[in-house]
Structure 1
Amino acid sequence: MTTKAVDVMAVVADFFEESGLDWNKLEGVCTDGGPNMLGSRSGFITLVKQKQPDLKGTHCMIHREALASKTVPKNLHDALTVIINIVNYVKGSALNTRLFRELCRDMDANHTALLFHTQVRWLSKGNMLARVFELREETKLFLIYSNKVDLLSAFNKELQEQRSNVIVHTDTINAFMVDDVPEDMQNEFLELKHNSSTKDEFRAQDLEEF
Structure 2
Amino acid sequence: EQSTRILSHTFTAQQRANECSLRVAWILGQHKKPFTDACMLVKECMSVVAETLLDGKPKQELCDKIKQIPMSASSDTKKGEILTQDVLTQLNEAKHKAPCVGLAVDESTDICDNAQLLVYVRFFNTDQKAFCEDLLGVTPLQTSTRGEDIYLAIKEMLTKRGIEPTQVVSIATDGAPAMIGREKGAVARLKEDNPELIAYHCIIHQSVLCASLSDEHAEMMNTMMKMIHFLRASSSTQHRMLREFLREVDANADDLLLHNNVRWLSKGKVLARFWSIRREVASFLAELRHQKATQFSLFLGNEKQIDNVAFLVDITAHLNELNLRLQGEDNSICELMTAVRSFQKKLELFKEDLQGDCAHFPAVQEQVQGQRDVSSFVDFIDKLIVNFSNRFDSFSFGQQLTMFIQNPFIITDVRGFSEEVTQHFKWVNPGPLQMQLVDLQADVSLRAQFLRTDPSTFWLQTVPETAFPGLRKVAIYILTMFGSTYNCKAAFSTMNI
**Both proteins in one fold, TM over 0.5:** yes
Ranked by relative contact order (alpha carbons within 8 Å, sequence separation 6 or more), the top structure is 1
Aligned residues: 176
Structure 2 Cα separation of the partners of residues 17 and 51 of structure 1: 13
Structure 1 counterpart of 2:285, from 141, 146, 149:
146
> What residue is the counterpart of 1:207 in the other structure?
none
- Deviation of residue 139 (structure 1)? 4.3
Identity %: 14
> What residue is the counterpart of 2:274 in the other structure?
135
TM-score, with structure 1 as normaliser = 0.60
> What residue is the counterpart of 2:209 in the other structure?
66
Query: How large is the Cα RMSD of the aligned pairs?
Result: 3.8
> The residue matched to 2:220 in structure 1 has which SS?
helix
> What residue is the counterpart of 1:206 in the other structure?
none
89 and 162 in structure 1: CA distance in 2 versus 1, 3 angstrom threshold: closer
- Deviation of residue 23 (structure 1)? 5.4
52 and 175 in structure 1: CA distance in 2 versus 1, 3 angstrom threshold: closer
> What residue is the counterpart of 1:173 in the other structure?
384
- Deviation of residue 4 (structure 1)? 1.3
Structure 2 Cα separation of the partners of residues 139 and 14 of structure 1: 54
- Deviation of residue 9 (structure 1)? 2.2
Report which of the two has the higher share of helix: 2
1:84 is aligned to 2:225: yes
> What residue is the counterpart of 2:306 in the other structure?
159
1:94 is aligned to 2:305: no
- Deviation of residue 29 (structure 1)? 2.2
- Deviation of residue 26 (structure 1)? 5.0
> The residue matched to 2:200 in structure 1 has which SS?
strand
3 and 66 in structure 1: CA distance in 2 versus 1, 3 angstrom threshold: farther
1:7 is aligned to 2:149: yes
Unaligned runs of 5+ in 1: 186-210
78 and 140 in structure 1: CA distance in 2 versus 1, 3 angstrom threshold: farther
52 and 137 in structure 1: CA distance in 2 versus 1, 3 angstrom threshold: same
Q: Which amino acid aligns with 2:299?
A: A
139 and 8 in structure 1: CA distance in 2 versus 1, 3 angstrom threshold: farther
Report which of the two has the higher share of strand: 2
138 and 162 in structure 1: CA distance in 2 versus 1, 3 angstrom threshold: closer
- Deviation of residue 5 (structure 1)? 0.7
Deviations 1:156-205 (A, max 9, x none): 53333468x333347253354687x98337xxxxxxxxxxxxxxxxxxxx
- Higher radius of gyration, 1 or 2: 2
